[in-house]
Structures are given as C-alpha cells and as structure tokens.
Amino acid sequence: MAKKRTSVLLIYTGGTIGMIQDVHTGELKPFDFNSLSRQIPELAKFDIDLSTISFRKPIDSSNMQQEIWIELAGIIKQNYHKHDGFVILHGSDTMSFTASALSFMLENLAKPVVLTGSQLPIGIIRTDGKENLITAIEIAGAREKGKPVVTEVCIYFEYKLYRGNRTFKYNSSHFDAFRSPNYPTLAEAGVKINYNRAAFLPRPAKQLVVHSSLDNNIVVLKLFPGINKQITTSVLNTPGIKAIVLETFGAGNATTQSWFIGQLRKAISDDVIILNITQCHEGKVIQGMYETSSALKKIGVIGGADLTFESAITKLMFLLGTGKTTKEIKKLLSSNLRGELSP
C-alpha cells in the first residue's frame, strides 16, 4: 500500500514575500500563487501535496485587523481535516500579533501553523523569501510515526522556528527580523532541521476548538518619566474600555505619585482590567519586588510576567471575547494557556 503523501495548505494574506518586480515598470506587484511552482521550482522536489489559498485582495500587514484573524482561523477550521499542516504568508510588521492571536484562537491545535514572510520580495534576486517559504513548508509537512512533529502556531524566519506568541519584530533592515528572548527556539535549520523537542507544547488530547470572538476595547499606557497627569487621566477614562495594557519600567515598576495610583485604582473599581507588562524585551514583571511595583499589586493590577506586548494585546482580546467575568479573565491572564508565559 502506497504511503499517503503529506498535505500542506499555503495561505497568502499579503506582504513583501508575495511580490515580484514588473520587468517593464520596475513596480512590485503580487504574483499569482497558482503559478507558485514556476516562481520556486524547488517546491516540486517535496514529497508534499501543496494547495494554496490567496486573499482576493492581498493586504499590507500594517492594515491587519481582528476580522482577518477571524478569517484565518476560519480557513484553518474549514480545512483542518483535509491537510496535515498550514503555512501562512504574512507581512513581517505585524506577524507576531497574528501568530499570538491565532495561538489563542486555535485551542487544542494538533497540527503545525507556520507563519513566514520575508524582508525582500520573492521576485528579487537576493530575496530571503525562498528559503523562508521552502523550510516553512518542510516544517509544516514534517511527520513522525504518522503524526506532525510540530503542533503549535509558530514563526519561521531566517533559519529559526519560534513559538509565535513569544516573538516580536526586532529588526527592519536585516533578515533576522524576529527575536524570542524569553523562550528558546523550537528548531534551527542548517544542513538538517534540528528540533528542540524539549521546548514543544504537549500534544493535545482534545479536539480542536476555534474561537471566533475578539474584543478590542483595549488601550495602552506606556510610562515615561514626567508622564502627564491630564493625558493619563484622559486615557484611563476612555469611554468603553475594558482593559488597559500598562507598559512599566524594569520588573514592573511605575511612579508612586498619588494621582497616578489613584487613577489606576478608580479604573479597577470601574471593572477595568489592568495588565502590567515590562518595556524591557527580556525578563519579566515581578510585582512587589520593588516598592515601586508593590502599590500596583495592592490595588489589583495583574502582573503580566514575561508576556510580550503582542501576546498581552491578543490574549486580552481573546479573553474579553469569551464573555467570561472580570474575575475569571484576571485569573486566566496569569495562567499559561498556550505557552505564552513562563512558569
């Protein structure tokens, strides 16, 4: 009996990777993904059945919205039992937001969802897009004993596979665009792809559940020395807000001025959730470690530990969209749901 070929679905949303240069005008334009094998003939060497879905109108990732995350999750849900893995081609600017959002929306994911893109268009001679795409497809199709090797939402970029909800875009001018300082890489591609299996999420035992409700009634307050009382008060009293991401200094520290703590306390009493994350890219929030964070802990600010900004925003959107109570959401914010938090 012939061995069943692995099937991977390639989803093109837009972004630099899907552009080619018009030989006559020099302009960059999206290429036809139905002719993908002509652009990248190396794909024909894979023992993988490759299918493609392309957004009717490719979008720049700066225009990414929650509706598109819901559409992506829906595409994966509709095709989940038809394919062994998924590759999403996406602009790099907001890729970490999309990867984080999908990680929360795809509960009990048991197949790889690999996001990738490039810093140079695939039609440019020196593009990084070909290698990124080829290896992302190989990872999405990798199986052992009939089961996928990877079972989570990841980002593959410049020879490294990262847990998606642990990443942020670090560089806009080099090929190594992403970093994951608080969690090790899941794999590195050299002569062979070396998987760091100890860093993988456990394989889920339950069926996939796709969440399609997100609530974006969130504001961000980034602290800086000399922050203005009037503007801070205005932000904290924005009509309709349900949650605030508070970007603090160091291990979660903030000014202890009475007006500032008083405004946070008022917001919390109005049933607004405040999540404390650090402005530092490495390390974590430890509320109560210093006097300047003890006051936050006492009034009910939730410590975000080592959540990235991208993960903090999308986790809040996801939890607010579940319709759970404020008390339940606060508990879940401190819980590790998809590998986004360190123990």
**SS3 of residue 63 by DSSP:** helix
Tell me which DSSP letter residue 40 carries: -
Q: For tokens 């907001």, name the residue.
A: 94
Q: Tell me the two tokens of residue 322.
A: 């579940």
Distance CA 305, CA 315 (A): 13
Q: Which residues are catalytic?
A: 16
CB atoms under 10 Å from CB of 264, counted, come to: 23
User: What's the CA gap between 327 and 277, in Å, rounded?
Assistant: 19
SS3 98: helix
Q: How many helices (H) and strands (E) does the chain have?
A: 9, 20
Buried b / exposed e across 81-114, counting CB within 10 Å, b at 16+? eebbbbbbbbbbbbbbbbbbbbbbbbbebbbbbb
Triad 105, 183, 330: Cα angle to 5°: 50
